[in-house]
Amino acid sequence: MGTFSTTIEIGNLNGERYETMEALADTGATTTVVPRSILDGLGILPTRQETFEYASGERVELDMAQAWARVEGRETYTWVIFGEDGVAPILGAYTLEGVFLAVDSCNERLIPVVGSLK
């Protein structure tokens, strides 16, 4: 697994307002994490809770909602986790797959991928 920062945009459900932020591209994170204050500011409200496990093994229930995400000019509707304020945003695998990008850890960049139907 590798991590590095990249610029992402998270938008409200109708795609009218976006917030730009630096996010950690983390191949070990399932879902994108955005500070709650940013999501609140975009008018995005939690619609469900799911269980997530930290590297320490601790499991927590976290609020989630759907939002738009833009990454390197590509856009997808995705799930986001309401992170605690002050936490660094994380670009997770679900969003990366939605925009057909993968992590190139050696060169610390995102690269386009072809979808697989195998």
Q: What is the mean pLDDT of the chain?
A: 94
| pLDDT in the model for residue 78 | 97
Residue range 26-74, pLDDT digits in tens: 878 999 999 999 999 999 999 999 999 988 999 999 999 999 999 999 9
Please compute the mean of the pLDDT values over residues 70-97 and round it to a whole number: 95
> What is the percent of the chain where pLDDT is above 90?
85
Checking if the pLDDT of 1 tops 70, the result is no
CA distances from 31 to 34, 63, 65, 68, 107 (A): 10, 12, 11, 13, 23
User: How many structural domains compose the chain?
Assistant: 1
Better pLDDT: 15 or 45: 45
pLDDT band for position 24 (cuts 50, 70, 90): very high
Predicted pLDDT of residue 2: 56
> Would 118 be classed as within a structural domain?
no
CATH of the domain at 86: 2.40.70.10
Tokens 């995005």, located at residue: 44
**Residue-number span of the structural domain to which 56 is assigned:** 3-112
By the 8 A CB rule, do 56 and 34 touch? Answer: no
